Each structure stands twice: as C-alpha cells, then as structure tokens.
Amino acid sequence: MDIQTLTFIIVGLTFALYIGIAIWSRAGSTNDFYVASGGVHPVVNGMATAADWMSAASFISMAGIIAFAGYSGSVYLMGWTGGYVLLAMCLAPYLRKFGKFTVPDFIGDRYYSQTARTIAVICAILISFTYIAGQMRGVGVVFSRFLEVDIATGVFIGAVIVFFYTVLGGMKGITYTQVAQYVVLAFAYLVPAIFISIYMTGHILPQTGFGATIADGVAGSGEYLLQRLDGLSTELGLAAYTDGTKSTIDMFAITAALMVGTAGLPHVIVRFFTVPKVSDARLSAGWALVFISVVYLTAPSIASFAKVNLINTVNGEDLQGVEYESAPSWIKNWEKTGLISWEDKNEDGKMFYSGDERNEMTVDRDIMVLANPEIADLPAWVVALVAAGGVAAALSTSAGLLLVISTSVSHDLLKRTFAPNISDKQELMWARVAAAVAVAISTYFGINPPGFVAQVVAFAFGLAAASFFPAIILGIFHKKMNKQGAIAGMVVGIVFTLAYIIYFKFVNPAANTADNWLFGISPEGIGTLGMVINFIVAYVVHKMTGSAPEEIQELVESIRYPRGSGAATHD
C-alpha cells in the first residue's frame, strides 16, 4: 500500500477518534466548556497538558531547527523545557489556589481593575493568534505533502476539524481529545527515531545513539555521530554543528524569553484549573513534564540523524553531489509542495547542498521531521504515522489556543466587563461564536505566516514574556504591587516587544541582522528585554502611586500558601 493511501487511512482514523471523543464528552455548561468542571485526574491532565504544550513547533519544527542550526537551535529545547518547570513550580499552584481559570480573570481581580482585565484580554488574544498561526502552518505542511494538496487547502482541512471539537466539547472535549493526541504524537515521534537509531548506530534508544559511533555499512562508520556532523558541516561551508552561530547574548535572551514566556502562556495555565485540588495541580504538572520529556529528549537525536541522512542523500558519500535524475523519490515528492527546490547552478545535473555559494538546494526546515522517515527509507506505514503525529501536535495546541480566545471574549470581555447580566447559555453561545471568528483569522495567518513554525511560536512566547509573566509574578510575590504599576508595565512591555518584532519582520526585514539588533538581541529573544522593561516600569510606577489596598494584600497572602482549594469560579 502506498504512502498516500496509508496516510489517508491513519490520519482519517485519528480524526474519527478525536471527533468521537468530542461528541462523547461534549460540554453542557460553561463550567464544562471552560475547565471540564474541574474533575480531571492528575495523570490524565498531565497527558493532556503535554499534548497542549507540544505543538507543531515541538513536533515538526524543533528538531528541524536543531538539524539546521545545530547548537544554536538548542535554545528552543532548553527554553521550553525550563519554562515548563518554572510554570509548574512558581505559578501553577498559586493561580489554582486563587480559583480563577483565566489569566485576565486573575489579573483583573488581583489588580482590582477592569482596565487591567481588558489589557490582559488583548494580550491573551494577541499571543494566542500569534501562536496559533504556527500551528495552522504546521497542519498545512503535513497535508501539503501527504494528502497531496496545497498548503492553503491543508490549513482549511485542519481548521474545520479543530473548530468542530473545540466548539462542541470545550475544555472537557479538548482534554480527552488531547490524551488521544498525545498517544498518537508520542508514538509517531519515537517509532521512526528508534528505527533510524538502530540502522545508523545499532542502538535501540535514540538518546544513546545520539552519542554513539556510526554503524558499519553506513557512510562515516566508526566516527561518532556528532563528530561526523561537525566534519560534514565545516567541509560544506556551514558552522560546526556543535558550535552554532548565535552570539551568547542572543542565546541567553531567546532561552530566557521562551522560559518566562512559557510561564505566561494562557492556554497552558488554564489546564491547572481542570483538576480538583491544588495538590492535583502539582501532580499533573509533574506528570506533564514526564510525558513531555519523552518527545523532548528525543528531538536532538532526530535532528542529528536527519541532518546526516540529508547530506548523504543529496551530496552522496563522496560529497560530490547526486544526479538529479536518479534522486530518491522523497525529494521529488516534497518538491511538489514547494518546500524543497533545486537550482542547477553549474549545469552538471547534480544536486549539491552546502552553506556557501555552491549551494543548489533550498530545504524548508519545517519538513525535516516529516521527511525523515522517507529520507531514511523507512516503511510507508511509519511515514503515514509521522503525518498523523504532526497533525495531532498541531491540532491539540490549536484547540487550547482557540479556547483561550473564545473564553477571553465571552467571559472576560462580555461577562465580566460589557454584559455582566448575560445568561450561562448566552455566554456559552458567544464563546462558540468567538471560536469561529478565531478559526477564520488563524486560518489566514496559517496560510500567510510571518516565519517558520518554531520562529512564529517564539514570537508568541516573547509577547507572553513581556506582558503576562511580570504581572503574574508580581501579583503573587509582591503583595504591594498596585494596578497602576501592573497596567503600565504590561502596556509598555508588549508594545515595545511587538513593535520590535513588526519592524524587523515586516517593516524592514532587510535590517534583520545582528548588527542592527538592540544589544545584539534578535526578534525571537526580544521578549526578555521587554520583560525587564515591564518589571522596571511596574516597580517605578508603583513607587510613585502607592501600594495596593489592604484587602488585596491579604488576598495575595492567602494564595501564597496553597493548602486546599475552592472550586474554580467564573463569576
């Protein structure tokens, strides 16, 4: 059976599973829709959180960027993993104790201000739309190759599926759908990695194969895998794989932005309100980290295997190039999508991949994980399984983000601000309407994204770092912080960060070089500086305008000691 037929079958079966779960667990109330009635088991919630967390950027793009950037690409691995630990240890239990299930709810009540709530809603929507653009792009990349449709059509298909089970099931449906999606994406990530590790190094575990010598019969046998990669990279005019190209300050800034941005991501924070107690929030955070590590600890191995196989496939074992006419079928299959292309510069009929003027290949880094099984000539069912995993990763996070957008509009803007007297049924209706509008807008950005998947997602993390993280941290650990300081900090932080990203990515992309960056920090890492500015502005304004009221300070004291918990409320 060919790859396309198998892909239709496997992806179709997973879609049927997701939709079936959504129908079985459909939301009947706003409490079901927003927080699954707070009755999810910690292990189940940990698995759902892992799926929510591991987006298309994790599944599709992270190993791809490590494959192309080497050491520099590790910022995504370090930042996202460290950020989750920060969220689990420093924020989640306290927010769960507070009892409000959205970030704008927390900020609005903690800073006793509708203005603060509204600004938080705007930030949440902006962050979520930026993030979801990367997910929709990931769906398009998967479908464009394996269903042989263009990227736009692929994005439309994914949008319809995720809209259906988000609008129908809400958080209750999303939670159990994400459990199924985690199983699919984890299995899809590990199976090809194990296959390739055995073939290239003789090691069953990809993590040990990553540091092993290349097996007999494979180009470079006897050399350590990373040693082989370093040698190939430098010979082809690329930076040594284990050195990277980014400056130390930019590496630090991107890693920090991803870490603190994680702690401010509204779609992850809300997951801690789906469990019954604060202790369950801590447990589910620990389980989520276990489930996340299954994929994250495998990503460097996949990246390294893919890069060696790519070079060997395109350039041949003698590094002189392979005749295009006799090129493996995967190259011509991916050419149809426009995500890989060849220009015969020297008219010798041979492909050649390098990092200098000799280069004739354009390879989109987002295809590396998806193309990896084909490059390694694995069975067709493995290729189809990876396609299903990529779709599961993108759709699971998209669902969480759509829920954040819909609840921000229906609950935080309407119920808590503009129309406090609307009924539970009306609030649920507006949540679904908001989700529909969000799907339409995110579909557009999925078709016209401002960068590759991981890069787009990095922008969302930067915006979260510059806006939410300081407000949440100060709200928990600085009881005297007042509304004026928090509002000023959020506005200045997100405006600065957004303006920096827009300037270098849209207004003047030609200037997007290290020489022109502020302090040598790229747009992907500028959220760290935005966060620092937020903290400074908030502190200065707070000192100029006085402390929060006594009752607010007592409220902060009460959430600092997360013993026990009331039910999450939304009134």
Distances (CA, A) of 364 to 141, 202, 337: 10, 29, 10
Mean pLDDT of 266-281: 72
Torsion 330-335-340-344 (CA) sign: positive
Which residues have C-beta within 8 Å of that of residue 529, sequence separation ≥ 6? 253, 496, 497, 518, 519, 521
| Residue-level pLDDT at 24 | 66
> What percentage of the chain's residues is helix, strand, coil (to nearest 5)?
75, 0, 25
For the chain, how far is it from start to end, CA to CA, in angstroms?
Answer: 55
What is the overall mean pLDDT for the chain? 80
- How far is residue 262's CA from residue 288's CA, in Å, rounded to a whole number? 14
The pLDDT confidence band at residue 91, using thresholds 50, 70 and 90, is: confident
Mean pLDDT of 169-187: 72
| Residue-level pLDDT at 569 | 47
| Residue-level pLDDT at 565 | 44
Least reliable range by pLDDT among 11-20, 158-167, 303-312, 419-428: 158-167
| Residue-level pLDDT at 26 | 57
Task: Map out the domains of the chain with their CATH numbers.
Answer: 3-306+378-559 (1.20.1730.10)
- How far is residue 34's CA from residue 27's CA, in Å, rounded to a whole number? 9
Q: What is the pLDDT of residues 126-167, one digit of tens each?
A: 777 777 777 777 777 777 766 677 778 878 877 777 777 666
Mean pLDDT of 301-309: 89
Which residues have C-beta within 8 Å of that of residue 464, sequence separation ≥ 6? 123, 127, 260, 261, 262, 263, 264, 265, 266, 527
Mean pLDDT of 315-322: 84
Distances (CA, A) of 481 to 21, 92, 419, 484, 514: 44, 20, 29, 8, 36
Mean pLDDT of 296-317: 87
The pLDDT confidence band at residue 570, using thresholds 50, 70 and 90, is: very low
Residues listed for the chain:
571
| Residue-level pLDDT at 204 | 92
Total-model pTM: 0.77
Least reliable range by pLDDT among 70-74, 445-449, 556-560: 445-449
The pLDDT confidence band at residue 561, using thresholds 50, 70 and 90, is: low
- How far is residue 428's CA from residue 437's CA, in Å, rounded to a whole number? 15
- How far is residue 271's CA from residue 281's CA, in Å, rounded to a whole number? 9
* Rounded percentage of the chain residues whose pLDDT exceeds 70: 85
Q: Are 353 and 359 in contact (CB under 8 A)?
A: yes
| Residue-level pLDDT at 146 | 66
| Residue-level pLDDT at 36 | 46
Q: What is the DSSP secondary structure assignment for residue 217, as one 8-state letter?
A: T
| Residue-level pLDDT at 194 | 93
In terms of Cβ atoms closer than 10 Å to its own Cβ (0-12, 13-18, 19+), residue 249 is: middle
In terms of Cβ atoms closer than 10 Å to its own Cβ (0-12, 13-18, 19+), residue 84 is: buried
Question: At residue 48, does pLDDT exceed 90?
Answer: no
The pLDDT confidence band at residue 178, using thresholds 50, 70 and 90, is: confident
